[in-house]
Copies of this chain bind each other. A is one copy, B any other.
């Protein structure tokens, strides 16, 4: 029994908002999509929705209230934007001081300020994994391939680096191969990071015939977990496969898997493992 009557889905870019809206529709839940233009997918137009720019906070909140929403979930990617370049409406303008104060403290601080401003408007803030059971990454081996001892060692190394980076509010992804850190994600996003791993010398990475190395995604230690959890999807598996990696590891409960069955099918077909690690898996051996 959800703790809300009608859910406002504030939708940025990517597959996750679409998957979430489809889930709500399939469940017969009461929902309304607030598309953030120009990022949100066009497929969302088939759902009950309205569309506003990032700075049109007033119009967006008014639309969600008019639709009867008492709770909101933030899903999908919104690129880091210079607040000075946005078109703010009056409702948005009223939030600018709080957002501008938070922005220099980093992505996480800015997101918390956005959540706070919506909470002040009377919305309950819901995590995407509360809306859609099975969205949160489970622990253990997901598909038919399992990590080797060497893969697990690379996973532990990459997970430690990701945690160290996360304390600086940096990225959520790290690639390690045979004890060497190949790439660290910052503002370029995971897909671009995997693309550059694919261009590194084959001496230090794997390939389709001999897969080596692991992509790890995990939340920052300071992460606001109701928003901006790491996300993996089929494209993550495709990128990892193209980079010659042996697999993808995410923190169990600390990442969202969009269309998990499709992720597993893609990984099984390409010969990659997908693994949800817990703190027990990170113990130094």
A178–B85 CA distance with the chains assembled, in angstroms: 15
**Known interface pairs A161-B170, A168-B164. Does A183 touch B180 (Cβ–Cβ under 8 Å)?**
no
Nearest-neighbour CB distance to chain B for A274, whole angstroms, equals 23
> Is A107 in the interface zone, CB < 8 Å from B?
yes
Question: Which B residues are CB-close (under 8 A) to A104?
Answer: 178-179
- Asked if B180 and A188 sit within 8 Å, CB to CB, the answer is no
> Is A29 in the interface zone, CB < 8 Å from B?
no
> Is A182 in the interface zone, CB < 8 Å from B?
yes
- Asked if A170 and B181 sit within 8 Å, CB to CB, the answer is yes
- Asked if A182 and B186 sit within 8 Å, CB to CB, the answer is yes
Question: Which B residues are CB-close (under 8 A) to A178?
Answer: 104
Question: Which B residues are CB-close (under 8 A) to A185?
Answer: 184
Of the 9-residue stretches A113-121, A199-207, A256-264, which lies at the interface with chain B? Answer: A199-207
- Asked if B200 and A188 sit within 8 Å, CB to CB, the answer is yes
- Asked if B171 and A184 sit within 8 Å, CB to CB, the answer is yes
- Asked if A180 and B105 sit within 8 Å, CB to CB, the answer is no
Give A contacts to B, CB under 8 Å. Answer: 79-82, 85, 103-107, 157, 160-161, 164-165, 167-171, 175, 178-188, 192, 196, 199-201, 203-204
Which 7 pairs show the lowest CB-CB distances between chains A and B? A82-B203, A184-B184, A104-B179, A170-B181, A80-B204, A183-B186, A182-B187
